[in-house]
Structure 1
Amino acid sequence: MNVTTKTGLAQAPETTMPTDPGLFDCMPDLLAAARVAPVVRIPYLGHHAWVVCDPELVRAALTHPQLEKDITLVPDWMRRPGLMVGSQPPPEYARAMIMSDGEHHARIRRLHAPVLSPRNTERWGERVGVKVDGFLDELEQSSSRSRSRPGPGSGSGSGQSAEINVVTDYTHRIPLAFISEMLGLPPEAERQLRGITDVMLYSSDYPARTEAVGALFGAVEGWVRDPAPLRDGVITGLLASSDGPDAAVTEGEVVVWTLGMIITGYETTGSLISASLYEALRRPAAQRPRSDEDIAAWVEETLRVHPPFPHPTWRFATTDIDLGGYLIPKGAPVQVSIAAANRKPGEEADSFTADRRGQGHLSFGLGMHYCIGASLVRLEAQIAVRGFLRRFPHARLSTATAVEWESEWMIRRMSVLPALLT
């Protein structure tokens, strides 16, 4: 039953979502919560957060002028160490694109645009292709060695490749290697970043997450202050803009913007590639995408069903808001359920349908905060999926090991994707 507030608007009913990370798939719980009401309240850190679930209201919320993404609006109770929003630096140090609005957001976006121009995206795609081919060569060589090893009780090879975890052996290696090259990071940074970001995003140990945030910030700040170990790349390009009296950016901004590119350019892209290959490997080879056009559509459908950010980033109500007859009070922290908005009413978690081709998904957002790197993410995923399926057309899911997810309400990825390549 709806409770009416003193404003005459309905109070969003309370329900739950998994707000702490763990080794589970959050998607069924997120969709169940979305069926409670178009707007719900979630107990969070001893207070409440509002979640918009109805597809049309999600579209309205993503572009609502009174739902702002300004870091200065984060309430004190949300500035908890270990939380991404609580780890944002003060605005006088630097503002991140994802937590800025108005002139601040427009300026940051304008300075990022040349890096992600169509010409650069094409060039980046060529580099992704080189890395994909290299990782596929490694998989192929490893598979050949395993087939040539003697089987139990036999003097000859087993004829079957060993099981691999596609996530750790392939899908997450690609964007990590690419973003490291794109940024110009030293070679040893890849291993360092993988360990740090795993803890930052998916550990339920908040002191450990706090330490990981500090480690990542410290590493990037060290590179920015002493760029000697860096190769030419985005960081050195931004630093060139920070020199002199007419500097376009500050060193603090280079640090914060680099952090954002690492998280969005690595983790979420790897998740998209993993989920795309999961949907392919669980089907017979004849039902998998073959042409470039079909692979592109397959990636779009994966974005619809498996958005790496089921709930993207925080917005804050700057006044009492009427959203579909529900009150979102001034100061309320708000999430939008991309997971629910991407689906038709009644669709369950397991609803991948290749013919849908991702139609209408909002996984890259809407309006001024539409993901500036969407074209590059799509291109990376398409190159990675195409390369794997063409190199290993008979690959299949292993039946000896279960597929595993890890997630919470805001971020979701596959951690184990077991496969046999032949």
Structure 2
Amino acid sequence: MTTADTSRDLFTQVLDPQNRIDPYPLYRTLREHGPLRLPELNLTVLSSYRECHDALRHPLSSSDRHTSALAQQQIAAGEPPRPFGLAGLVDRRRTPAFLFLDPPDHTRLRKLVSKAFAPKVINQLEPDIVDLVDGLLDTIEEQGRFDAITDLAYPLAVAVICRLLGVPLEDEPQFGRASALVGQSIDPFISLTGETPEGFQERMDAGRWLRKYFRELIEHRRGSPSDDLISAMIAVEESGDQLSVDEIISTCNLLLIAGHESTVSLIATAILAMLRAPAQWSALGADPHRSARVVEETLRYDPPAQLLGRIAAEDITVADHAVTKGDTMVLLLGAAHRDPAANERPDEFDPDRKALRHLGFGHGPHFCLGAPLLRLEASTVLSAVTARFPHARLAAEPTYKPNITLRGMSALPVAV
């Protein structure tokens, strides 16, 4: 088998849903192989920590999908670029979320949004999060068992993001269903393979429904402001600048992913890791101050965001490897975090490790704005559930969704 054949075979395995349960042996093979080069797809796949870190911090590493060679070919042919995940929910006539922009547009939007996403906004949510967690755990205690997804992580994450954005209580169920579908839409299958995944139309419909919902909510908040993030984004202003309706909608979609899917996955993954290492479950239950270390180690050990995409704006060198202008770089964060060159004993879940390196929230200008909220929710629920149920144990093995970008479980049964 030629090197090109090996690269194609390994990349096919990365996309294969059968590898969601435990992708880490495959990631080890990828790191040992080195970057995968697929010229026919204008694609480079990076898997070591150094490669991913360097790609994220490189000044010519672009987040704008329209800079890719494939997108330029499609535009030249009069075709709209194939959607790369969440960007596919926003056509070229609309404003993409600042996650998919480069400076100066990214700088402007992030600066405006960050004013509305200030720490005081997040801190004001803490009492509500504590109350929500306590209520969910009360119900679980009566049942004697729970599913970490449907009974704990999911209802908490949906309730919090709805309160943050100002979604009325009666709309939460439909909003939650739509947001879950949008979370499945960020996998890069179409742009990389040209194939439409099963259920894609349903996810596109959910994205359109959310855009319409946000547009109507924004109009309502203009006339009746409230103490929520949408009202804050409407009101924010910097030297006469402000956010347009499309910019607010795109930002809401982005925060929805950061504040919902990632949170659900992180909470469930941390619960699973500790149940498989009972001493860690007991240690956190006895000392809630350990929660921050548990969260950071989970982000390293089994991160919700398994990959990120960047584009080489020019011919560049990443960790001594040449990347051609226009190539899409797929950064396998899940592989990078288990790189022994970055973290000792990388396959061991150890919140007490002395040195820890991860890229779970990205790096540089695109560092995740939702990081403080995710950390707050996860720390609160993990310290509470371990203290309330010191003898919890796995009731059955978890099942996983087919998602690759935001890898997560669909069920995690726990007996208490």
TM-score in same-fold range (> 0.5): yes
Task: Tell me, yes or no, if the aligned pair for 2:50 and 2:319 is still in contact at 8 Å.
Answer: no
| Percent identical residues | 28
Larger radius of gyration: 1
Task: Tell me, yes or no, if the aligned pair for 1:298 and 1:354 is still in contact at 8 Å.
Answer: yes
Unaligned runs of 5+ in 1: 4-9, 144-160
- State how 1:29-178 maps to structure 2 within 5 Å: 30-41=26-37, 47-74=41-68, 75-76=70-71, 79-80=81-82, 83-90=85-92, 93-140=94-141, 142-143=142-143, 161=144, 163-178=145-160
User: Which residue is 2:335 aligned to?
Assistant: 340
In the alignment, the residues of structure 1 paired with residue 137 and residue 100 of structure 2 have an alpha-carbon distance, to the nearest angstrom, of 37
> Aligned pair 1:301/2:303, yes or no?
no
| RMSD between aligned residues | 3.2
Residue 231 of structure 1, CA deviation: 5.1
- State how 1:6-45 maps to structure 2 within 5 Å: 13-14=7-8, 15-16=10-11, 17-19=13-15, 24-25=20-21, 27-28=23-24, 30-41=26-37
Residue 247 of structure 1, CA deviation: 5.2
Choose the corresponding residue for 2:414, options 396, 416, 419.
419
SS at match of 2:234: helix
**Alpha carbons of structure 1 residues 35 and 81: separation in structure 2 relative to 1, 3 Å:** closer
In the alignment, the residues of structure 1 paired with residue 43 and residue 318 of structure 2 have an alpha-carbon distance, to the nearest angstrom, of 15
> Aligned pair 1:192/2:174, yes or no?
yes
In the alignment, the residues of structure 1 paired with residue 134 and residue 275 of structure 2 have an alpha-carbon distance, to the nearest angstrom, of 19
Residue identity in the other structure for 1:257: T
Task: Tell me, yes or no, if the aligned pair for 1:115 and 1:234 is still in contact at 8 Å.
Answer: yes
**Alpha carbons of structure 1 residues 42 and 282: separation in structure 2 relative to 1, 3 Å:** farther
**Alpha carbons of structure 1 residues 204 and 411: separation in structure 2 relative to 1, 3 Å:** farther
User: Which residue is 1:393 aligned to?
Assistant: 390
Between 1:52-61 and 1:278-287, the stretch displaced more is: 278-287
Residue 416 of structure 1, CA deviation: 0.9
Residue 200 of structure 1, CA deviation: 3.2
Residue identity in the other structure for 2:394: L
Task: Tell me, yes or no, if the aligned pair for 2:296 and 2:351 is still in contact at 8 Å.
Answer: no
Choose the corresponding residue for 2:370, options 362, 369, 373.
373
Deviations 1:368-388 (A, max 9, x none): 111122222111110010111
Residue 412 of structure 1, CA deviation: 0.3
User: Which residue is 2:189 aligned to?
Assistant: none
Task: Tell me, yes or no, if the aligned pair for 1:125 and 1:376 is still in contact at 8 Å.
Answer: no
**Alpha carbons of structure 1 residues 418 and 350: separation in structure 2 relative to 1, 3 Å:** farther
Unaligned runs of 5+ in 2: 75-79, 185-196
In the alignment, the residues of structure 2 paired with residue 336 and residue 125 of structure 1 have an alpha-carbon distance, to the nearest angstrom, of 33
Task: Tell me, yes or no, if the aligned pair for 1:27 and 1:349 is still in contact at 8 Å.
Answer: no
In the alignment, the residues of structure 1 paired with residue 354 and residue 175 of structure 2 have an alpha-carbon distance, to the nearest angstrom, of 33
**Alpha carbons of structure 1 residues 184 and 124: separation in structure 2 relative to 1, 3 Å:** same
In the alignment, the residues of structure 2 paired with residue 352 and residue 375 of structure 1 have an alpha-carbon distance, to the nearest angstrom, of 22
Choose the corresponding residue for 1:219, options 201, 213, 217.
213
Residue identity in the other structure for 1:391: R
Aligned length: 389
More helix, by proportion:
2
> Aligned pair 1:283/2:265, yes or no?
no
SS at match of 2:376: helix
Q: TM-score, normalised by structure 2?
A: 0.83
> Aligned pair 1:239/2:239, yes or no?
no
Task: Tell me, yes or no, if the aligned pair for 1:50 and 1:334 is still in contact at 8 Å.
Answer: yes
**Alpha carbons of structure 1 residues 341 and 394: separation in structure 2 relative to 1, 3 Å:** same
User: Which residue is 1:147 aligned to?
Assistant: none
Residue 13 of structure 1, CA deviation: 4.3
Residue 185 of structure 1, CA deviation: 0.6
SS at match of 1:272: helix
Between 1:218-227 and 1:289-298, the stretch displaced more is: 218-227
In the alignment, the residues of structure 2 paired with residue 102 and residue 73 of structure 1 have an alpha-carbon distance, to the nearest angstrom, of 13
Residue identity in the other structure for 1:94: T
